[in-house]
Structure 1
Amino acid sequence: MVSFCLAPVEAERLSVLAPRIVLVAELTLLQCAKYRVWQRKEQLLSLGWQVEVVDWRETQQALAALQVCTRVVFYRVPAFENVRSLVAEAHALGLAPAWEVDDLIFSEKEYLCNSNIQSLSVFERRQILAGVRLFRACLLACGRGIASTPALAAAMRQAGVGSVAVIENALDQQTLDIARDIRNGFVKDHEIWREIRIVYGSGTRTHDADFRQAAAGIFAAMQADPRLSLHIVGDLTLPPCFATMGARVCQHAGRDYAAYMAMLAQADITLAPLEATLFNDAKSAIKFLEAAVLGVPAICSRRDALARVVRSGRNGILADTAEDWRTAILKLAGSARLRRKLGQQARYDALALYGPDAITTRQVLPVFGAPPAQPVSDVRVMCVNVYYAPRSFGGATRVAEEMAARLAQRASMSVSVFTTRPDMPARGHACVRYVADGVDVLASAALPDAAAGVEALDSRQATEDFTRWLAAMRPNVVHVHAVQGLGLGWADVCQQQGIPYVLTLHDAWWLCGRQFMVQANGQACPQRVIDLDVCQTCLPGTLGLAQRARRMRAVLEGASLLLAPSETHRAFYVANGIAPERIRVNRNGFQWPVTPRPPRIAGQVLRFGYVGGAEDIKGFGLLRAAFESMQRGDWELVLVDNKSALGFPPLQAGAWSVQGTVRVVPAYTPATMDDFFDGIDVLLFPSQWQESYGLTVREALARSVWVVATAPGGQAEDITAGVNGTLIPMDGQPETLRNAVESVLDFLSNRPETPNPDLGRLCTFEQQAEELGGWLEEVAHKAGSQSAQSSGGAGGATGRNPWTTLSAVAASA
């Protein structure tokens, strides 16, 4: 993981992402999740944030979510190893993570002071205390806290966290809807029996000590008033004296939230007793709020959060001693009018202070703020290529990198990149966000190398990651280069969302199942117009080839514009059914040398260079056979190992049997390119397919390096035979290449070096970017104009705002 772009990303880079908050949360505690996760999502959505919720156990999903968010909160999450990695990633991405909780579960001292823990087994206590240490570690690792009560916030600060905010548990729309449904047509089923029903929601047996605070008073009140009954919801160990009450005490199994609220609605009185500990002072007033929204009066312990909201005698009653509990229960039991008065006031106060709008405005907005406005560029481009820096390989990647960097310099344009990452076992399939040369990049796990045929056209993971990145960067045009390993799902997403895309056709992959129009025997394919019956001899399985062809054609037809790097390549696609007006030539550029080329040293042998890799389609086998068959040694051959940095086996030349010298050098970079070309006199480009362009050829020609290349093809378009290079037929014969090399040896060895007279024909990266930028602007503006016309001035190209749908899709990915 450390080896691939996991260096910290500056927090300032978050400003280019769509405002998005990720809640990494404990979701198995349903009631806790309701008030701290789903309620928070509802509040944040109402403020205009995009929100995604991820279970903390789903490490890869959480990692992927972190790459495209601008804020992250970890709710009730322990610092297990996977969580520590998530928190570290959040810090590295500049997200300033916060740890949120609604119980004092991070203080071992306070946990041990709570008598409820004594009801647990030794094993359960050990488990809880181990969890306490993990919760505390996660709080401190995040460095920022969000608490449900002021007392809990104070405990966080005491633990060593300086930045702590308070957002209380409150009422959400689900609770209000349930309460409304219950109150409509509500009838208390026990009134005919003149029963006064007390309901206590226990949940689990860890509330035994809490109940004991009120138990004596409850029992005394029930002795004094035979109408009183006690209904317990959930596990609770009742003191033995309650057995004497017989059927007046009922214990009910725990139930879902709606059923619990329905039972609570049947109460005449509800109770919220809590033991006098800091642990309970940190608890929220949710029992009061749930009863209040139903109009049920509550008697509560005088714990911090409850005492802040309960105005004793006005909207509820606070009790401290057993006598307080007895008196309060009997007072409420004796007056239906008082019960109604307190219940109605409690409902009014709860809605006024803790209703969804009230709590969002009063507490959520000050903590999270409104979503910040993104800087808006006239044209927002997303570049897509299978490789990208630091995994730079091949001409298409070099072009993609150069174009992204140059387009990003345009005042009216912003650029992002979608690409693949290497295999990272510790990370699984999670994507990686990083910055390369000032451009924001998201790298997805590529399709496995074994994927072939139609299967190689689909990558669910890449499509999900691409959808996330679209929602984060909001491009209005997507520029696609080489996408082998990424599948074609990106095209489906663009078409569905009305986002135009432009395809640069770097090779024959869109028409040829072998990508480079090379037959299985290594020879160039003679076809100019693709016939799938002929293709079957290379790739058996006509059905698969037909499916592939249909899929590819659909993507080509869906493009707003097609670009070819050369006239040769454009003609190839036109010959295969692409309308001429839909495809333009955008010649690849090159980088001029920084310093003049030094003259060859007198008496120095002629130096040849080869950059194509070990593939036969690039002529590597021909190259070796040609040089091994030469009976002279007045030469040196420099082989560039351009793939070992990507994890491929290194290029080997030790077994070659030659008269001259063969050596292998590492791949060059733009910064070291001049050194490489200054070290050779001739570039060998014996490709066995009609290349779309041949960037290395132009780099050599720009430095007045002689080029030996096959023809026809885009690689030959800037070579004038006998003037700046040598052209040879694409016949797959080693003798042809050997004869050309020997001829060059005889021709150049004693010839003074001369500049390439055709330098003015070459296209620079600056020229390519200028032309490309204009076309991308044209496509983006045209799509925007069509969008405005179809939607009456707003929304996507299909008459709707694509980002509304994209945000929803990305959140569920």
Structure 2
Amino acid sequence: MTEKQPQEILEKRLRHVEALLECYRGAAFLHSVRADVNAEDAAHVRHLLFGWNKSPLSRVGRALRGGWLLVHGQTVEGRPLKEAVQRAREIVEKDGVKSLYRRVRRRLDARLQQRPKTKKKSGKSKEILSENVEKVLNPYRQVVPPARDLGLVPKILIVAELSIPQCAKYRVWQRKEELELLGWEVEVVNWHDPQSALSAMQTSWEVIFYRTPAVSVIQTLITEAKRFGIEPWWEVDDLIFDLELYGQNSNLLSLSKSEQEILLEGAGLYRECLQLCGRGIASTRVLGDIMLRAGVREVCVIENALDGETLRIADQLLAIEKAPRENGDIVVVYGSGTRTHDQDFVECAAGLAAAMDIEPRLVLKIIGELTLPDDFRRFGARVEYLEGRDYAGYMAVLAGADIAIAPLEPSIFNDAKSNIKFLEAAILQVPAVCSPCDTFRDVVEDNRNGFLAKDKTDWREMLLALAHDEALRERIGHQARLDVLEHYRPEAIARQQVAVQFPSPERRKTDRLRVMAVNIFFKPRSFGGATLVAEEMATHLSALETDVAVFTSYEPIPALFSSSLRYEIEGLPVVGSPLSTHIDPIAGLDNPRCTAQFISWVKAFRPDVVHFHSIQGLGLGMLQACLEEGVPFVVTLHDAWWLCERQFMVKPNGRYCFQRHIDLNVCRSCLPGAMHLKVRQDMMLSMLKEASLLLTPSESHRALYLANGFDPEQVKVNRNGFSWPKVPHKPHQPKTPIRFGFVGGQEAVKGFPLVREVFEGLESTDWELVLIDNTLNLGFASMDVSGWKVKGKITIQPAYGDATRDDFFNSIDVLLFPSQWMESYGLTVREALARDVWVISTAPGGQAEDIVDGVNGNLIPLDGRPEPLKTAVEGILARPDMLDSYVNSMKDALPNFRRQAEELKQYLQSVVQ
């Protein structure tokens, strides 16, 4: 085997890999589209069910079903009636009849709350819910800084009508080429795809709407553009926005009545869109003047011109030597395109027919649809119709012509049209005879680079002059090509016309570190400890002379077409991707739409490094995108999601899974029927191993990942900060009850059942238990302790926030943290320790790392038994004076957000360097 053969084999395999990669990408995208459709269908079904459940007939049906189930020995939930009766007896024996009544009543109330209300909500509840909705939605509606002020990559978005190939070529793809010559990034989106248009708009400096009507989706896009501080442009190359002048176009008479009505009705929508944008781009001076008369404040003229495609086709065609015609025919070509040019052709018809009568060698080739006057029937085979064809095919026919004609009816409508037909003929060195409309007069000089024919005599004489003089044809054609190359080549139009309104942008240069933070939630949708850390790190990094941008999710807003959404929080630019709360865990592993929106944000912001926090639902495609874009990334491992399908390694029975090295055989018993676990694990580990650095909030959590094969050099600890007290803690007052606090909610994994069992078993009465109910801030309660048989006092408080955090910790002396899983960190524990609050916590786990048993708290085993917790609580009740003057002597070693951010920045800079 030669040395060349292995190289050829490797190259062939590389091509195979690249082909497979493209297929896999395509398949992923198709699956994502299907998933989106299924999600929309599910939302529609939920809407239908909502309406059904609201109907009186549905209530009757539910009542009949409930009765039928009871007769057949089942509850409404489908459980055996015997089990329900047995459970009721147990509650009565343990808590009494009143407790059973309260539980049944609470469950009924909960069911009623889930159903559509026909009665008005209480004033307070309605007010709280309304305030919360407005609080969440308000940032999405606010005006945000323009993309240019954020230093994003200079980009212009063109939202265009692309269904008319010639219009798209001359007003869209040419504009893209010219703008790119000036240094702009340009993105073109079909206006029928508002989702993509709105997503692209989030990072655009300028927006051009080409030939779009003011339908609702376009109005939404214009409104959103103005939210970004963009004054959009409306561009067109036909007089389609002035109903009166458009109606004067006699070519419309060749259309049916219904077709005329559709076109004229559209004129009003085009005019409205022009006025909504407020600025216009016209292809001709006359068209620009009419735009100004429509009431817009600014208009610029950018002519139709040559482009790279036209020049390339022309050069190829000119390189082919014309074969002499045996019959000596002199070919005249007219490109009609559509059947709306019948009246235009009348301008040249008499003169052309007269010339053909005099010169029998003249033949006429018509490209496209045209109804010829009856006079032309006498020419028989000398008139040839050619079907419409693509641009290259059209240019090939034109290149074979001896003469091109461009007749236009005298009217303001045609004065507003551009001189495309002259440009196309000139670049092929084909001499042209044109009507003397405004734009032709600007460029055509009689007997130098073309001819202008105003009547029958001009048309006849000029056509005959060209037909009789081959040297004249060559001279005129050659000069025409030189002139259009000088004035209409892309570089000339870009510099002389486009740059007037879109000058070459200056790209901002900075020595500051640029970081993109990614988290499933971000303000205003703040939820969970990881989100708090992500928000604080973004804010503190920004204060440390770092440019920070954020990528997150938002609850889908129907009016925004599932597009990405840019908004601003505390001076930070944030882009959200729509993510339904109903997304399933498997779909959440790979989210192609989210990945595409993430890539767009990365390309616009150009971060030096991407910092991923919790991304479940957003998908691993973002990490793959970083690899493809060559952007290093760091992952903070806030929980076990990267290792376990169950994010916190809590089994279905509410118990913690104590695996250290993850065994998928154990996982399969926890998730029977899950077929994707091996694929999931492979995807997760492969991406994590490509990370430049992995960060954990605690040594305990780091050990979990090391136990699963990660390099110790790759995994570092970046301890989470927290909110330190703004006021000193109020110490326990002598001879007053000890106040215990629990903030973990009612989940078993947080130890709630243990707390109840312990406090119901206390003989002491000299204590108070403060419980946090997270739903009180929403206007209703979810926690009921009326059935607890205790001898002390129980108080329920709403969840605390920044403004009330110190108040809560001032209301307790001891924090209970009997979590039944190895927490990755334990934010509440640190908040308590910093405020001189004693902590009783389970160990091992991240929650226990800052507690020294007997010094600033008590550590109890993580074994699910109530006895250790009870012993710790009774020990404190036996010595209440120990808390009278207690101060945590070790709190200075606790981290804060600033120190965490400083360390994080060092980690991120090391990755970039």
State the TM-score, normalized to the length of structure 2.
Answer: 0.80
Equivalent AA in structure 1 for residue 228 of structure 2:
L
Indicate the residue corresponding to 1:591 in structure 2: 723
Q: Is the 8 A contact 2:775 2:782 kept in 1?
A: no
Distance 1:146 1:105 in 2: 14
Query: Per-residue deviation at 1:765?
Result: 0.9
Question: Structure 2 residue aligned with 1:463, among 595, 610, 618?
Answer: 595
Query: Per-residue deviation at 1:228?
Result: 2.0
Correspondences of 1:283-298 after superposition (within 5 Å):
283-298=417-432
Work out which structure has the larger RCO, using CA pairs closer than 8 Å and 6 or more positions apart in sequence. Answer: 1
Distance 1:269 1:643 in 2: 84
Indicate the residue corresponding to 1:800 in structure 2: none
Question: Structure 2 residue aligned with 1:104, among 232, 239, 259?
Answer: 239
Indicate the residue corresponding to 2:782 in structure 1: 652
Query: Per-residue deviation at 1:592?
Result: 2.1
Question: Structure 2 residue aligned with 1:319, among 449, 453, 457?
Answer: 453
The reply on whether 1:185 has 2:320 as its aligned counterpart is yes
The reply on whether 1:677 has 2:809 as its aligned counterpart is yes
The C-alpha deviation readout for 1:450-496, integer Å capped at 9, x for no partner, is: 4235x442111121122111111111211111111111112212223
Secondary structure of 2:340's match?
helix
Q: Is the 8 A contact 1:506 1:564 kept in 2?
A: yes
Q: Is the 8 A contact 2:333 2:364 kept in 1?
A: yes
Secondary structure of 2:272's match?
helix
- Per the alignment, do residues 701 and 381 of structure 1 end up closer, same or farther by CA in structure 2, a change over 3 Å counting? same
Which range is displaced more, 149-158 or 443-452? 443-452
The reply on whether 1:339 has 2:469 as its aligned counterpart is no
The reply on whether 1:418 has 2:551 as its aligned counterpart is yes
Indicate the residue corresponding to 1:446 in structure 2: 579
Distance 1:165 1:121 in 2: 35
Indicate the residue corresponding to 2:161 in structure 1: 26
Secondary structure of 2:163's match?
coil
- Per the alignment, do residues 265 and 734 of structure 1 end up closer, same or farther by CA in structure 2, a change over 3 Å counting? same
Query: Per-residue deviation at 1:722?
Result: 4.2
Give the helix-richer structure, 1 or 2: 2
Equivalent AA in structure 2 for residue 279 of structure 1:
F
Indicate the residue corresponding to 1:435 in structure 2: 568
Question: Structure 1 residue aligned with 2:849, among 695, 709, 717?
Answer: 717
Query: Per-residue deviation at 1:365?
Result: 2.3
Distance 1:605 1:113 in 2: 92
Q: Is the 8 A contact 1:710 1:716 kept in 2?
A: yes
Indicate the residue corresponding to 1:244 in structure 2: 378
Query: Per-residue deviation at 1:81?
Result: 0.8
Q: Is the 8 A contact 1:524 1:730 kept in 2?
A: no
CA RMSD of aligned residues (A): 2.7
Secondary structure of 2:525's match?
coil
Distance 2:313 2:363 in 1: 25
Equivalent AA in structure 2 for residue 711 of structure 1:
A
Which range is displaced more, 68-77 or 729-738? 729-738
Distance 1:320 1:643 in 2: 83
The C-alpha deviation readout for 1:549-599, integer Å capped at 9, x for no partner, is: 222221221121221211211222222222222222111112222233456
Q: Is the 8 A contact 1:388 1:419 kept in 2?
A: yes
The reply on whether 1:132 has 2:267 as its aligned counterpart is yes
Correspondences of 1:342-353 after superposition (within 5 Å):
342-353=476-487
Q: Structure 2, unaligned stretches of length 5 or more?
A: 1-135
Distance 2:181 2:260 in 1: 40
Distance 2:300 2:818 in 1: 66
Q: Is the 8 A contact 2:368 2:387 kept in 1?
A: yes
Tell me the number of residue pairs that the alignment of Structure 1 and Structure 2 aligns. 774
Question: Structure 2 residue aligned with 1:397, among 520, 531, 544?
Answer: 531
Question: Structure 1 residue aligned with 2:143, among 5, 8, 13?
Answer: 8
Equivalent AA in structure 1 for residue 513 of structure 2:
V
Q: Is the 8 A contact 1:188 1:266 kept in 2?
A: no
Indicate the residue corresponding to 1:485 in structure 2: 617
Q: Is the 8 A contact 1:297 1:339 kept in 2?
A: yes
Q: Is the 8 A contact 2:533 2:720 kept in 1?
A: yes
- Per the alignment, do residues 628 and 202 of structure 1 end up closer, same or farther by CA in structure 2, a change over 3 Å counting? farther
Indicate the residue corresponding to 1:330 in structure 2: 464
Query: Per-residue deviation at 1:286?
Result: 0.7
- Per the alignment, do residues 663 and 178 of structure 1 end up closer, same or farther by CA in structure 2, a change over 3 Å counting? same
The C-alpha deviation readout for 1:734-788, integer Å capped at 9, x for no partner, is: 666566556656655995253322211211111111111111111111xxxxxxx
Q: Is the 8 A contact 1:606 1:749 kept in 2?
A: no
- Per the alignment, do residues 307 and 602 of structure 1 end up closer, same or farther by CA in structure 2, a change over 3 Å counting? farther
Equivalent AA in structure 1 for residue 725 of structure 2:
P
The reply on whether 1:40 has 2:175 as its aligned counterpart is yes
Identity between Structure 1 and Structure 2 (%): 50
Q: Is the 8 A contact 1:200 1:233 kept in 2?
A: yes
Indicate the residue corresponding to 2:73 in structure 1: none
- Per the alignment, do residues 106 and 456 of structure 1 end up closer, same or farther by CA in structure 2, a change over 3 Å counting? same
- Per the alignment, do residues 554 and 341 of structure 1 end up closer, same or farther by CA in structure 2, a change over 3 Å counting? same
Q: Structure 1, unaligned stretches of length 5 or more?
A: 782-813
Secondary structure of 2:335's match?
strand
Which range is displaced more, 208-217 or 280-289? 208-217
Q: Is the 8 A contact 2:147 2:205 kept in 1?
A: no
Distance 1:491 1:131 in 2: 46
- Per the alignment, do residues 609 and 273 of structure 1 end up closer, same or farther by CA in structure 2, a change over 3 Å counting? farther
Secondary structure of 2:548's match?
strand
- Per the alignment, do residues 617 and 132 of structure 1 end up closer, same or farther by CA in structure 2, a change over 3 Å counting? farther
Distance 1:579 1:236 in 2: 75
Question: Structure 2 residue aligned with 1:215, among 340, 345, 349?
Answer: 349
Equivalent AA in structure 2 for residue 657 of structure 1:
G
Distance 2:312 2:722 in 1: 64
Which range is displaced more, 724-733 or 125-134? 724-733
- Per the alignment, do residues 390 and 448 of structure 1 end up closer, same or farther by CA in structure 2, a change over 3 Å counting? closer
Q: Is the 8 A contact 1:447 1:456 kept in 2?
A: no
- Per the alignment, do residues 359 and 513 of structure 1 end up closer, same or farther by CA in structure 2, a change over 3 Å counting? same
Q: Is the 8 A contact 1:613 1:651 kept in 2?
A: no
Equivalent AA in structure 2 for residue 430 of structure 1:
S
- Per the alignment, do residues 242 and 416 of structure 1 end up closer, same or farther by CA in structure 2, a change over 3 Å counting? same
Distance 2:144 2:577 in 1: 17
- Per the alignment, do residues 376 and 644 of structure 1 end up closer, same or farther by CA in structure 2, a change over 3 Å counting? farther
Equivalent AA in structure 2 for residue 197 of structure 1:
V
Correspondences of 1:511-530 after superposition (within 5 Å):
511-530=643-662
Q: Is the 8 A contact 1:523 1:731 kept in 2?
A: no
Indicate the residue corresponding to 2:220 in structure 1: 85
Structure whose alpha-carbon radius of gyration is higher: 2
Indicate the residue corresponding to 2:768 in structure 1: 635
